[in-house]
């Protein structure tokens, strides 16, 4: 099985809080990693920081909150890069990959109750599967980042980590925008790169059907799953049906 990289940002021991929140960034992207974050702290303890859905915050505010979250909570991040996703998606769906990543983080964080942004249309079924995989109580909700401070914090951590990775990739292959096919800059970058070099650039998710369309000489279209649609009932459009 392909290796899924794990990066530990901070682990703060002490009172051993039992709650954790999980969210992701980069689910619908064509370029760059899918980042899943777990933040462990007592539920409600980060609300005073003003944490909320990362997409509602400016990059500067996200960075500032990222630092504060790291001081007050235990944080773990799992980065799944395109080469790993391409291999993993030979045998499983994006939803299954995310569920496995979340389950691993829950076990590593040592929490007993997990609040999760549900990536499946069926919240109860997603919670049941995570519960079976981890043995902990799971509360899975669509748009959970707007309901629970720990999930909002996880969304901020995941977004900041992914944004940093995107900047690193751009320094290597050139500016490509956000990496989402809903971004005209990303579509133009991919189209031009394929025209000039006859292949995809590094760090691209080759299993995405719209990327396959581009390679086949057809126009790259936007995905149904976009950065701003990272919540309820996430459609698994990353894999060609």
- Angstrom distance (rounded) from CA 30 to CA 227: 11
Output b/e per residue, 89-103; b: 16+ Cβ within 10 A: beeeebbbbbbbbbb
Looking at per-residue pLDDT, the higher value among 10 and 81 belongs to 81
pLDDT of 226 > 90? The answer is no
- Angstrom distance (rounded) from CA 190 to CA 179: 10
- Angstrom distance (rounded) from CA 153 to CA 76: 12
Place of tokens 């996880």: 154
pLDDT of 191 > 70? The answer is yes
Minimal CA–CA distance to 28: which of 191, 238, 211, 239? 238
With beta carbons less than 8 A apart as the criterion, state whether 37 and 160 touch: no
CB atoms within 10 A of CB 232: 15
Q: pLDDT over 70 for what percent of the chain?
A: 80
pLDDT tens track for 16-54: 458 999 999 999 899 999 999 999 999 999 999 989 888
Domain with CATH 3.30.420.10 in the chain: 5-167
Element (H, E) at 171: helix 149-173
Q: Does domain 5-167 have CATH number 3.30.300.30?
A: no
Q: Does domain 174-221 have CATH number 1.10.10.460?
A: yes
Provide the token pair at 192.
Answer: 């031009």
Minimal CA–CA distance to 17: which of 124, 149, 161? 149
Domain with CATH 1.10.10.460 in the chain: 174-221
State the pLDDT at residue 61. 94
pLDDT tens track for 130-142: 999 999 999 999 9
Place of tokens 């899918």: 34
Contacts of 24 (CB under 8 A, 6+ apart): 34, 35, 36, 37, 98, 117, 119, 155, 158, 230
Residue 75: pLDDT band with limits 50, 70, 90: very high
State the pLDDT at residue 182. 85
Looking at per-residue pLDDT, the higher value among 235 and 63 belongs to 63
Residue 234: pLDDT band with limits 50, 70, 90: low
Neighbour order of strands in the sheet with 34-40: 5-10, 74-80, 34-40, 19-25, 113-117, 137-141
What phi and psi, each to the nearest 5 degrees, are found at residue 134?
A: -120, -25
Residue 214: pLDDT band with limits 50, 70, 90: low
């Amino acid at each position: 099985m392909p290796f899924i990289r794990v990066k530990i940002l901070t682990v703060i021991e002490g009172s051993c809080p039992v709650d954790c929140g999980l969210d992701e960034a980069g689910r619908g992207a064509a370029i760059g990693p899918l980042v899943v974050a777990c933040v462990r702290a007592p539920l409600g303890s980060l609300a005073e920081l003003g944490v909320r859905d990362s997409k509602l915050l400016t990059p500067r505010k996200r960075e500032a909150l990222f630092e504060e979250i790291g001081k007050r909570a235990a944080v773990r991040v799992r980065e799944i890069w395109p080469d790993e996703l391409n291999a993993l998606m030979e045998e499983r769906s994006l939803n299954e990959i995310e569920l496995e990543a979340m389950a691993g983080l829950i076990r590593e964080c040592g929490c007993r109750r997990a609040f999760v942004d549900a990536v499946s249309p069926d919240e109860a079924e997603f919670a049941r599967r995570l519960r079976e995989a981890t043995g902990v109580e799971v509360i899975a909700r669509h748009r959970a980042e707007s309901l629970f401070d720990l999930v909002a914090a996880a969304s901020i951590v995941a977004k900041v980590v992914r944004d940093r990775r995107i900047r690193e990739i751009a320094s290597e292959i050139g500016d490509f925008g956000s990496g989402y096919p809903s971004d005209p800059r990303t579509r133009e970058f991919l189209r031009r790169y394929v025209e000039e070099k006859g292949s995809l650039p590094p760090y691209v998710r080759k299993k995405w059907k719209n990327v396959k369309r581009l390679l086949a000489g057809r126009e790259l279209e936007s995905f149904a799953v976009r950065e701003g649609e990272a919540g309820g009932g996430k459609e698994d459009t990353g894999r060609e049906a």
